[in-house]
Amino acid sequence: MSDNKNLHLVIVEASSKKAQSCAAILEGAGHAVQLDQVKGIKALEDLFDDTDPDIVIYGEGANIPELELVSAWLADHASNIPLVVVAREGAEGRPGAMNSGATAVISLDQPGDLVATIRKVLDNAALNRRICGLEEAVETIHLQQRVDQLERALQEKEKYCTNLLENSRDAIAYVYNGYYQYANPAYLSQFGIDGLAGLNGTPLLERVEPSDHAALESLLHNCHHTGDAVTVRIGLTDKRGLSRRTAVEFAPASFENKRCTRMTIRAPAQAAGTEMTPDTLGQENLFAGAYNRQYFMQIMEDSLGNPDKAGKYQTLTYRLLDDFRAIRENFGIYACDQTIRNIAALIQRNYDKEDTVAQFGDYVFAILNTSQNEDGAYLLAESVRKQIKKHVTVVGGQVIQTTCSIGMCVIKEHMKDAQDVLSRADLACEVARSSGGNLVHVHSTAIDEQIDGDLELQWDEMIRKTIDDERLYLVYQPIVSLGGDTGRGYEVLLRVVDEKGQVILPGQFISLAGKISMSAEIDRWVISSALRSLREIHAWDSELAFFIKVSAATLSDGEFPAWLAQQLKEHELQGSAVIFEIPETTAVNHTAATSGFINSMQKIGCRIAIEHFGHLSPFELIHDLAVDFLKIDGSLIEGLAYSGENQTRVRSVVDFARTTKTRCIAERVDDASSLVTLWQYNVDYIQGNFVREPGKEPGYDFEDAIALHNLAET
C-alpha cells in the first residue's frame, strides 16, 4: 500500500484521454501517480492478481461494466479498496452511486474537489487500516489470554484428576504399548507393590498368566479401534507371584499426552444387609470424609420412622458455601477441593458423634443434629457460620476465604418423610443465600400447622390473602447446554411468603391450593408474571425461553388456550418462548387431559416438557404425546456417579429420547461428578445448583456454559 503522495490508481474508463486527465489533475497536486486503466471485470481481476492498488475510480463510457458489477466484485474480492465514481455533475450525475457501494462521487470539471476527495478517501482508508490493525492486535491479546486461561484450567483439571485417581477405591492403572505408565495407590496396594517405582515401565504381561497373553494382546490392540470399554477376567499375579483371576475393565484413554489403555478393577460393592458403619465402602464422600447423600438420607428415613426417637431433639441443618463457583473459576478445582476438605473438617469438629454430617454436593453439607435442642442447634449453626467466615485456606500461596448460607428445619413429630424435611431446610438455605448469604434462616412452620388443622375455610382465606397481598414472587434457575447448543432458558419457580415475612415451601402452598380448586388460578398468576418478565428480557435477548410448570387443573381448563394466546399477544411474545412442564405422574394419571393440552399448546407454538421423569418411565405414552423435552428427575441425578441403579435408569431415558428425537434435561445437578457422568451419557441440558442457584433476577451469563462443557469433557 502506497503513502498519500505515491498513488496507485485503477480507473475503469472507456476513454484513455479521460483516464490520463484524471491522473494529470492528481499529479498537478503533487502526487506521483501509477495509472492502470481497465475496461472490463476480467481485466480488473487480472490486475488485482498482480498488484494491490490504493483506489479504484469508476469513470464513464458505453463499453465499461455496470457500476453495480464493479462494486459487487470489489465487495467480494477487495472490500478494503475505496471506490470513487466520476460524474460530469458530481453526485447529481450519479444519483444511485452511493447506494451501489461507492465511497464518494466526484466531478472532473472541478479539479480541486477531485484532489480533496481523493485525499479524504485515502486518509479514511489509512485510518480504517490502523483500526483494523488495532482490532487484530486486541483479538490476538484476547486469544492469548484465552489460551493462558485454558492452560491454567488444564493444569488445575490435571491436578483434580490426579487427586481423583489417588483417592479412588477402584484399582486403576495406565498401560502404554504394553508397559505400565502409572498405577494408583489402590492398585499398588491390591498387588502388594511398594510404590510406583516398583511397577512403572514394567511389561503388563509379566503380571498376567501366560494362558491369557494372546487374548490380552488382541484386546489391547482392538481397544482403541472400537473405542469401547471391555471387561474380562484375567489372571494377575502379585509381588509374591501369587495369581488370582480378576475382572478388569480395559478402556481407551489418555495419560500424560500418550494414547494409553486404562485398566480398572472395581472396588466391591457393599453386601446387602451389611451393617452401615463409617468404614463401610460407599458411605463416605471421596474428599470430605463426611457421609455421602445416600447414606445420610437412609439415616434420616430410619430416624423419622423410629417411634423411640419421635419428639426428641432433631434438627436438619443445610449449609451451602457462598459464591463457590467464583472461587472455582478464580483459584481452580484443586484449590476448591482443599478448601472443601478444610471446611468439612471444621464442621465435623463442632458436632458430636451422635450427630450425622454429610456432603451433599461439591459445596453443600447437611447435618442431622440430635444432641441439641432447637435453641442450641441454632446457636451452634451460628457459631460454625462465624468460624467458616474467619477460616482461611492457603493453596499455592493463594488465600481463599468464603462464607456460608445456612437453612434449618426443626423436625416435628408429624414429619415422616426425609425428602420433605430436606426440602424445608433447602428452602430455608435458599432464603439465607438470596438475602445476601452468610446468615442462618430457620424454616417457618406456619403452613405446617395449618395443614395439620385440616380447616379448608382457613386455607381458602389464607391463600386468597396471600394472592391479594402479593406475597408471591418468582425466581429463575438457568438451564444450560452440555453440548455447545446456543439455546438459552430458565425454569420459573414460585416462592411464597407468609404473613410474618418467612418464605414457605411452594409445594405445600400449591398442595393446599389444589385441595380448594385454586391451582389453575395460581398457574395463571405465575404465567402472567413470567411473561411480563420475559417481555423485558426479549428486548435484548429474543432467543431466551421460560420453562413454566402447570398443574393438572390447568390441563383440563378449556378456557386456558384462549387466555394464553391473549397473554402472548399482549406481551408481544411468540409461543415458542414458553415451554410448559407437566409432571410425569400427572401425564400418566390424566392422559386424555394431557394429550388435549399438548395439542392446543402446540397449535399456539408452545413446547412441552415432561418433568420428574424416570421413575414410572411410561415410554409408550410419552412417545404418543410427542413432547419436546424430558426432564430427568433430580432424585436419579443425586449421587449418579456412584449409583448403578440410577445410571441404568438415566441411560434408559437418554436412549429413549434419542429414538424419539426428544431432548433431555437433567434436574438437580449439584456436583461435578454428576456433571461428568451426564456429559458421558450425552444428556443435552443440565439444571441445578452446580450451574446456579435460583435467583430473583434471570442474570446468568450463558457463556459460562462453555466452561461447564470443558470441565465435563476433561
Residue 93 and residue 87 in contact, taking contact as beta carbons nearer than 8 Å: yes
Q: What is the mean pLDDT of residues 353-376?
A: 84
| Residue 608 pLDDT | 95
The fraction of the chain above a pLDDT of 70, given in percent, is 83
Q: Is the model's pLDDT at 656 over the cut of 70?
A: yes
pLDDT at 113 over 60: yes
Q: Residue 475: pLDDT above 80?
A: yes
Q: What integer pLDDT is reported at residue 714 of this predicted model?
A: 53
Q: Confirm if 329 and 707 have CB atoms less than 8 A apart.
A: yes
**Contact by Cβ (8 Å): 500, 491:** no
* Main-chain phi, psi angles of 599, to 5 degrees: -60, -45
CATH architecture of the domain formed by 446-714: Alpha-Beta Barrel (3.20)
Cα 542 to Cα 218, 490, 535, 581, 684, distances in angstroms: 55, 13, 9, 21, 21
CA distance 83 to 112: 19
Average pLDDT (500-504) is: 71
**d(C-alpha 201, C-alpha 182), whole Å:** 9
Q: What is the mean pLDDT of residues 651-672?
A: 88
- The answer to whether 668 touches 477, Cβ cutoff 8 Å, is no
Domain with CATH 3.30.450.20 in the chain: 170-265
Averaged pLDDT score across all residues of the chain: 80
Share of the chain above pLDDT 90, in %: 16
Average pLDDT over residues 411-427: 82
Give the pLDDT mean for 6-23.
83
- pTM, full prediction: 0.55
Which pLDDT score, from 0 to 100, does residue 713 have? Answer: 56
* Per-residue pLDDT at 555 exceeds 90: yes
Say which residues have a Cβ less than 8 Å from residue 206's Cβ, sequence separation at least 6. Answer: none
Which residues, 6+ apart, have CB-to-CB distance to 476 below 8 Å? 490, 491, 492, 493, 694, 695, 696, 697, 698
Q: Which residue has the higher pLDDT, 555 or 463?
A: 555
293: its cell numbers: 447423600
- Quickly name the fold that domain 170-265 has: Beta-Lactamase (3.30.450)
Mean pLDDT over 326-349 rounds to 81
Contact at 8 Å (CB) between 610 and 629?
A: yes
- pLDDT at residue 281, as a whole number: 37
Q: Quick one: CA torsion of 197, 201, 206, 211, rounded to 10 degrees?
A: 130
Of the listed ranges 342-356, 377-391, 542-556, 561-575, the least confidently predicted one is 342-356
If you classify domain 6-132 with CATH, what class do you get?
A: alpha beta
What's the pLDDT at 560? 95
Arithmetic mean of pLDDT, 420-427: 84
* DSSP per-residue string spanning 79-137: TTS-EEEE-TTGGGG-TTTGGGT-SEEE-TT-HHHHHHHHHHHHHHHHHHHHHHHHHHH
Q: Tell me where in the chain the CATH 3.20.20.450 domain(s) lie.
A: 446-714
Q: pLDDT by residue (tens digit) across 291-322?
A: 777 778 888 888 887 766 655 678 888 888 88
The boundaries of every CATH 3.40.50.2300 domain in the chain are 6-132
The reported pLDDT for the residue numbered 133 is 66
Q: For residue 258, list its beta bridge partners.
A: 255
Going by pLDDT thresholds of 50, 70 and 90, the confidence category of residue 455 is very low
DSSP 3-state assignment of 12? Answer: strand
pLDDT of residue 286: 44
Name which residue leads in pLDDT, 533 or 437.
Answer: 533
Task: Give yes or no for a contact between 248 and 229, defined as CB atoms under 8 angstroms apart.
Answer: no
Confidence of residue 547 (pLDDT cuts 50, 70, 90): very high
Pairing of the two strands 32-38 and 6-12: parallel
Higher pLDDT, 44 or 665: 665
Q: What was the pLDDT predicted at 607?
A: 96
| 8 A C-beta contact, residue 487 and residue 481 | yes
